[in-house]
Structure 1
Amino acid sequence: MTRPFSAVRGLVAVLVALLTVTAASATARASTDGRAPADFVALSTVDPTILQDIRYFTPHNFVGAPVDGYRQPICILTRPAAEALHRAQSRLLRQGYSLKVYDCYRPQRAVDHFVRWAEDLDDQAMKDEFYPDVDKTRLFDDGYIAAKSGHSRGSTMDLTLVKLPAHPTRPYVPGETLVPCYAAQDERFPDNSVDMGTGYDCFDTLAHTLDPRIQGPQLANRLLLKNTLEELGFVNLAEEWWHYTFKPEPYPDTYFDFPVSAASLTTAS
């Protein structure tokens, strides 16, 4: 005996719902797993020449403290993103430059740390450097802080250029006098990178990649980074000259939370 059409349609709806729940559960498991998927790598194993200055492992960032989830100062990325960065580095080395990464994969627990910090309006310790002209109550509305970050998907990185030979920079000393991130390069915190017009993680419209006030060598430096990366499949976030995502992303819908640590990349026994 054939089933009534309405019954068949109801059965199909149930099956679709079950499949949806199963898929969502798989994504949730992946996002909270303590280890990275097999196609995540330490950037240094793909290209050891790319410089690394992982700011969220240190207290020199807008939070003013090491950020949750950063157990080692290493850059972790999906392999396709790391290999594309290697190709970019090969081009830049021939021109006398090196890439330097400030941040790569970022666990969800670090993003949660940013959210807690942004909600604590009494904590203004790093305002004078990182958001001198932005009221902290505006950080969510203005898009500087969000509950999710593309970095947690593994193919986004923050980076800059360094003119070779690279010179060492002094360490940040907690409590030192802070200078606005948009100050002249010789006034703001020393960084061995080229002059991009602002420091890294500057919460200001001057950090927009093509802000018309940025001209001359500063614009040329931004365009060298932008053009090199875009030719190799990276997409820039227009509001941040340092922020790039390799496309297509292997995990466009998954936000991982394994720690930034070499142990996260070790195959489970």
Structure 2
Amino acid sequence: MKAKFLFAILLLLAFGAWAQDYRDSLHVISASDYKKQIKLAPEKQLIEISKQVPAIQLDIRYATTNNFMHQRMYNQARAFARFPVVKALKAVEAELALLGLGLKIYDAYRPYSVTVQFYKKASDKNFVANPKKGSKHNRGCAVDLSLIDLKTGKELDMPTPFDSFSPMAAADYPNLPAQVLKNRLTLKTAMEHHGFRQLSNEWWHFDFIGWQNFELLDVPFGDL
């Protein structure tokens, strides 16, 4: 029993060292360095989305246990993104409002340390970012979202729930009801009109064009 316990500890230590090696080689920015950076480059600031786009609905799953990790990964149910990303989301929301629709956000900026935890636990690594490269969420340039009906506040029917590891989650999965296909296309069209691109295996995930211009961050929500 003692041997098993020691082995488990060694595995955890090895994983921690592995993750730290990647972190160092990637130059992940901490809270103190981030604050210095945005003084020089204000356009790189992480903005709280709901303060700039109040009509957006939030359902921050990683601040709850209703996610694939089955545990709270964030201590605050908030959503942040870089300034140009929030500006684009505001334009998307305005376009959708003409159709009586709006956005619901599940996740946006994600600290790098959370991505490390995801990769460690995920059963299917195709649905989580490898810490070796980091995530566009870590750059504040990715959003996970869906559509809602503005009158009822209810989500529209989509191919799968958020964070599903099913083949049906693919952005081009064809064997779906006509209304679901229409809803998925409506979301994709509106997002792509304003500078986002859909991830091929996750209908809900959109990356902002130009994400390469923003660094990986490991800044807790409480420091923003």
State yes or no: 1:157 paired with 2:153.
no
Alpha-carbon shift at residue 144 of structure 1 (Å): 1.7
Q: Deviations over 1:148-193 (max 9, x none)?
A: 22100001000000012234xxxxxxxxxxxxxxxxxxxxxxxx31
Q: Which residue of 2 aligns with 1:144?
A: 127
Q: Secondary structure at the match of 2:127?
A: coil
Q: Deviations over 1:62-83 (max 9, x none)?
A: 000001xx22111100010001
Q: Which residue of 2 aligns with 1:33?
A: 31
Q: Which residue of 1 aligns with 2:78?
A: 74
Q: 1:98 aligns with which of 87, 95, 102?
A: 102
Q: 1:210 aligns with which of 159, 172, 181?
A: 172
Q: Which has the larger helix fraction?
A: 2
Q: 1:224 aligns with which of 186, 197, 207?
A: 186
* Structure of higher CA gyration radius: 1
Q: Report which structure shows greater RCO (CA 8 Å, sep ≥6).
A: 1
> Taking structure 1 as the reference length, what is the TM-score of the superposition?
0.66
- What stretches of structure 2 of length at least 5 have no aligned partner? 1-23
Q: Which residue of 2 aligns with 1:51?
A: 57
| In structure 1, C-alpha distance between the alignment counterparts of 2:177 and 2:81, rounded to whole Å | 32
Alpha-carbon shift at residue 250 of structure 1 (Å): 6.5
Alpha-carbon shift at residue 43 of structure 1 (Å): 0.5
| In structure 1, C-alpha distance between the alignment counterparts of 2:199 and 2:210, rounded to whole Å | 15
| In structure 2, C-alpha distance between the alignment counterparts of 1:152 and 1:58, rounded to whole Å | 19
Moved over 4 A (4+): none
| In structure 1, C-alpha distance between the alignment counterparts of 2:185 and 2:99, rounded to whole Å | 14
Q: Secondary structure at the match of 2:179?
A: helix
- What stretches of structure 1 of length at least 5 have no aligned partner? 1-24, 119-135, 168-191
Q: Deviations over 1:241-264 (max 9, x none)?
A: 000011122634x21000123xx2
| In structure 1, C-alpha distance between the alignment counterparts of 2:180 and 2:79, rounded to whole Å | 26
> Taking structure 2 as the reference length, what is the TM-score of the superposition?
0.79
